Amino acid sequence: MIFKYNTFYKIGTTIIFALSILLICAGTILLTSCLNQYLLSIIKSIKHAQVINPGWTEKLYSIYVQIILLGILFCCVGVILTFWGKIKNIIVKYPVHVAMGSILIYLLPYFIQGQNSNILIFDYLDSMDNYWLPAKDLNTFMNFTGIIPQKMSGFPCFLHKIVWNLQILPHHFLDLFAVHVFNQFLMHLVGFVGMYLLLRKHVLKEETTANRLIITGVSLAFALLPYFPDAGFKTAGMPLVAFSLLNIRDNQSKWYDWLIIFIVPYYSQYFGSYFFFLPIVFLLVAYDWIKTRKINFPLVAAFGMLVVVGLVSGYGLIRYVVFNPDFTPHRVEFKSNGLSFYDSLTYSIAHFFNGQVHHHSLHSPFILFSVLLAMFVGVWKKDRKLVKIIGCVALLAGFMSLFYGMNRWDGYQQLKESCFLLRTFQFSRFYSLFPLIWYVLFAIALAGIAKNIKRPSVSVRLITIIVVLQICFLFSYKPHLAQCTGWVDMVQIWKTADVEPGNPYISYKEYYSKDLFSEIRDYIGKPQESYRVASIGIHPSISLFNGFYTIDGYITVYPLEYKHKFRKVIEKELDKNQGIRKYFDEWGSRCYIFVDEITPEKMKNYPRLNNGIRKDCAIKIHNLELNAKALQALECQYILSAVEITNHEDNYLKYHRTFENDSSPWKIYLYEVVL
């Protein structure tokens, strides 16, 4: 009975604590939103009246947001110092409860706003058809010789990067938005659990109050990273896999360690992440053999399992790309313009401090500060072991950054041109290990600070403040939180003052605009599988989502033959503009109808939205030159354009009507190909 009472008491106090935090956060968000909207109205009035230089309005807004952010940070520090005893006890006694509550708060805007949430478009919504299209018919997808008819005039199943990948399964049972929220929660949960287990078992083994705080805080910080939405466990699962590999190496493995190594890579993009674990595991095997003169057979078996997982997950692609001489991927035409050695080195330095967009580590400034502080303390206290460990891990991160930057060097580019494998596979993606490395280093640095500062009351408070500042920084970066208050992305504001005040984002619901495209479908009045469309000024993924069959799309591998057929459609437009010509000819994964008059450099004075053109954009296309015969050869019958084409008749296009509504940011002009 006492056990039940204590259990219910703990659950009740945890719920009350979580609700209190939610109320405080909701109040802060509401107050900030009101202040934000009030200031925006003043700034817009000033800008409209042209009382001061328009450029200064953006700077005013930038300064305002920085002040708000600094105010929140100082408030957090003040709360920590005031209620230190209670906060420390809660974190130490209930680390999982604190983490779960924080993750739920982090994801709360998705539940508040629903489909009005801001969701990343770049490399995510613009290519999510690569997941949900195969999930519609798993039987067709698992048949490597099958065709997915909706995309690019019929797309071979085996070319999808998610062949035999568990990431497609949620799409079979849930709609796209529900899958997004499910994946977000799953990634952040696995990120916390993996880092928590790794630090507790293999990094900070000593049981102290400081270490428990560090393990919980660093694991939570890692869990709150803005993982790329379609990454699955590409970044979030790495600590969990590292935990299992180290268990196997120490001959302390359980059955679940082998299951983790087998399952986790299947819920990710293997060749963009866990492939780069292979050389590290190989080096561990070699190191153990040199040190003990014995082969660590369990670790060798784990290495073999990772290889098998890669071969199985990429079986379809490997089978047809490597062993089918009749298939030529468009990637053989990949070409990068080499940079000078100095510029490549600059890229390396920038990567070391800022990380990479697909694998955010966000280690600047607070994690870097803690590492430098730990180095200083280690040198001051003559802790050679601490200095050596931090130095070695930092050098590893530096080497990865150097390799990333040198991948752009002109000398390496010449080598790539002579080697098919180097040209088609990005070996510089060792940067996928960056978040794991920096957050393990973060934990080591904080533990070193706590160990060498002899006054626990000072050291524990200091490391807690650093961790809280990092967590606040991660919260400030989250795009959907930015939309919730009308803020622009904090990190972007720190980097530039040329941000237009107001909310620059587009919601999930607005992006796909189901009502608008349903109206277009009903107007055409034919079964969607009986005709194909192409898009101008919007991503083809929008048309695909709304049931249209397209000739265009975004995919990492597709037949070179199709690229050449599609190029005939836009050949004259590419000839007008060297930028889009090189973009298509030397890369070409976006198989889009590119138009010279609506390229980014020619639309600087017009409102654009994540590569989609808003309905309030006044620009028109006057000199379009498409090859109507090439369009017809690809069975394209309609063009969905976000921009009016004034010379449509010269391109054998018949204008039908314009579609728009209040809930959509798009205005779609419908043209029919008539020859």
| pLDDT tens sequence across 412-461 | 777 666 665 555 556 667 788 889 999 999 999 999 999 998 787 788 88
pLDDT tens for 529-578 read: 999 999 999 999 999 999 999 999 998 888 899 999 999 999 999 999 99
Position 495 scores a pLDDT of 33
The secondary structure of residue 492, as a DSSP letter, is H
pLDDT attached to residue 80: 63
199 pLDDT more than 90: yes
Residue 631 inside a domain? The answer is yes
Residues 414 and 546 in one domain: no
Kindly state whether residues 543 and 409 are assigned to the same domain: no
Domain end position, chosen among 452, 471, 495: 452
Q: Are residues 516 and 661 in the same domain?
A: yes
Residue 544 sits in which domain range? 509-673
SS3 451: helix
What 3-state DSSP class applies to 628?
helix
pLDDT the model gives residue 436: 94
Whole-number Å distance between alpha carbons of 267 and 276: 16
Residue 2 has pLDDT above 60, yes or no: no
Residues 441 and 541 in one domain: no
Secondary structure (3-state) at 637: strand
**Is 10 inside any structural domain?**
no
Q: Out of 404, 433, 452, pick the residue that ends a domain.
A: 452
CB count within 10 Å of CB 7 equals 10
Distance separating alpha carbons of residues 520 and 527, to the nearest angstrom: 12
443 and 518 share a domain? no
Mean pLDDT for the stretch of residues 584-599: 92
- In this prediction, residue 342 has a pLDDT band, given cuts at 50, 70 and 90, of confident
Is residue 196 in some structural domain?
Answer: no
Question: Does 61 reside within a domain?
Answer: no
Complete DSSP assignment for 257-289? HHHHHHHGGGGB-GGGTGGGHHHHHHHHHHHHH
Closest CA to 447 of 361, 389, 396, 395: 389
**Cα–Cα distance between 233 and 123 in angstroms, integer?**
17
Same domain? For 662 and 576 the reply is yes
Task: Kindly state whether residue 5 falls inside one of the protein's structural domains.
Answer: no
- Among 309, 321, 252, smallest CA distance to 277 is for 309
Give pLDDT tens digits for 625-662: 999 999 999 999 999 999 999 999 999 999 999 999 99
Alpha carbon distances (Å) from 624 to 566, 604, 611, 643, 657: 16, 20, 19, 11, 19
**Tell me, what's the pLDDT at 308?**
87
Contact 433, 183 (CB under 8 A): no
Judge whether 22 lies within some domain. no
**Domain tally, the chain:** 2
Instruction: Measure Cα distances from 557 to 221, 328, 339, 560 in Å.
Output: 35, 10, 25, 9
Helices marked H in 83-167: 84-93, 95-113, 129-136, 138-142
Residue 336 lies in a domain: yes
666 and 535 in a common domain = yes
CA-CA distance, 67 to 63, in Å (whole number)?
6
For residue 295, pLDDT beyond 80: yes
**Angle between the N-to-C axes of helices 297-313 and 255-263, in degrees from 0 to 180, rounded to the nearest 10:** 30
**For 292, what's the count of Cα atoms within 13 Å in the CB-facing half-sphere?**
12
Distance between CA atoms of residues 495 and 473, nearest Å:
14
Give the pLDDT of residue 374: 93
Residue 340 falls within a domain, yes or no?
yes
For the chain, what is the mean pLDDT? 80
Check residue 86 and give its pLDDT: 72
- In a shared domain, residues 416 and 562: no
For the stretch 4-53, pLDDT in tens is 445 555 555 555 555 555 555 555 544 554 555 445 454 444 444 444 44
The 3-class SS string of 32-101 reads HHHHHHHHHHHHHHHHHHCCCCHHHHHHHHHHHHHHHHHHHHHHHHHHHHHCHHHHHHHHHHCHHHHHHH
Q: Is the confidence at residue 193, as pLDDT, over 90?
A: yes
Q: To the nearest whole percent, how much of the chain has pLDDT over 90? A: 38
The DSSP 8-state label assigned to residue 225 in this structure reads S
84 CB-near residues (< 8 Å, 6+ apart): 461, 464
pLDDT, tens digit, 9 for 90 and up, residues 258-285: 999 988 888 887 877 788 888 888 989 9
In a shared domain, residues 516 and 662: yes
Q: Tell me what pLDDT residue 255 has.
A: 92
What is the side-by-side strand order in the sheet with 653-659?
532-536, 636-641, 668-673, 653-659
Q: Is residue 554 domain-shared with residue 653, that is, in the same domain?
A: yes
Domain-terminating residue out of 452, 471, 500 = 452
Asked whether residue 345 falls in the same domain as residue 411, the answer is yes
429 and 533 share one domain: no
